[in-house]
Amino acid sequence: MKISLNAMAKALLMTAFSSALLLTTAHANNPSPTIKADAPNRYIVKKGDTLWDISGRYLDSAWRWKEIWATNKQIKNPNLIYPNDILILCVIQGKTLIGVDTGEGCAGVEKQLIGNVVASTVTVTSTANSIPAIPMSAIRHWLDKTIIVNPKDFNTTPYILASKNRNLITASGDKVYAKGVPLIIGQRYGVYHEGEMYVEPKTQEVIGLEVTQVATGLVTATESNGVTSIQLIESYGKEVREGDRVFVELGNSIPPVFYPTPATVNRGGMIVRVMDSISSAARGGVVAINLGSSHGAKPGDVLTVYQKGPLVRDILDNDTPVRLPSEPSGMVMVFNTFDNISYAYVLNSELPLNVGDQLLPPPYL
């Protein structure tokens, strides 16, 4: 019975979102993106600009920016934009494109775009100081030290038993003792504090546990009774407490540069948490969504947020309650993915975004 119910729920979900998914997979057959009427012919990139903001200057559908970007074939990282670059609007071979002016105007952009490329002439460009897709300062905390793990795995790891000085709270420079599976002497380990548990709203199934690294320690000794001595060598703004877990530091797999693109996830999703807030999110905020790598989500994916329509009464039909259609209320971009959960940055919002708001790939038309 459980299998059939899950199958039915999946079928209903896929039916509800199928039309939006068809739009994302068939984009090649859609018209070219529309350039804004007030798009600048010339724009000088400034420090503090983001790729999303620049795209929004030229397109109503900012997530389609790659379709109008004149990629330089002589550059290994052709999508990077830097402060003081001069962007110009050009019509090349009947298409309206944006490129970086090298001093020759649109003729130079066309030369970069269609010129023959010899392997030895390709220039490798650094990602350092390039314009980010979104403000890195807004997402740094959720990139560096916060991860989603399997709760069952987390609960099998060694835990902080006590500190050398028997303090309840410890930090960098202190010695602490962990109990559990013996750790390797000389090895660095992370100390993680347990945070939010994530539950799939429709099934109430636990899909992840959020944990935050609060310190890094070096194992100095192990005892036969399972107690390990750890010297804390770095702390990250929070105290190490009894009960915190210890395991190998998990590396950051986020690409150094990512670009906003329409999501190609295999189902719709919803906002399951508003980070650092008890209510709603607005532009510049961070939310957790129930779409992860297992659903095809990846850094750079853009999703439209839909707010459920209000329930009204039909006065000509005996006050029968009628649910109005869901309406778009904003857009988010995924920047960090885990198996079943992702963190996403709020690109824009017409209305406050709330837990339970639905997510779909943005339409092209």
pLDDT tens-place string over residues 250-284: 765 667 678 899 999 999 999 999 998 778 999 99
- Under DSSP, the state recorded for 297 is -
Residues 232, 95: Cα–Cα separation, whole Å: 58
The 10s digit of each residue's pLDDT in 206-258 is: 999 999 999 999 999 999 999 999 999 999 988 899 999 999 987 656 676 78
Residues 330, 351: Cα–Cα separation, whole Å: 7
- Band of pLDDT at residue 79, cut at 50, 70 and 90: confident
pLDDT beyond 60 at 8: no
| CATH code given to domain 263-360 | 2.40.10.410
Who wins on pLDDT, 145 or 7?
145
pLDDT beyond 80 at 10: no
The 10s digit of each residue's pLDDT in 15-29 is: 333 333 333 444 445
pLDDT for residue 359: 97
| CATH code given to domain 147-247 | 2.40.30
Q: What does the domain layout of the chain look like in residue ranges? A: 31-133, 147-247, 263-360
Specify burial of residue 285 (Cβ count, 10 A radius: 0-12, 13-18, 19+). Answer: buried
**pTM (two decimals):** 0.82
Residues 240, 104: Cα–Cα separation, whole Å: 58
Alpha helices (H) in 77-133, listed in sequence order: 105-114
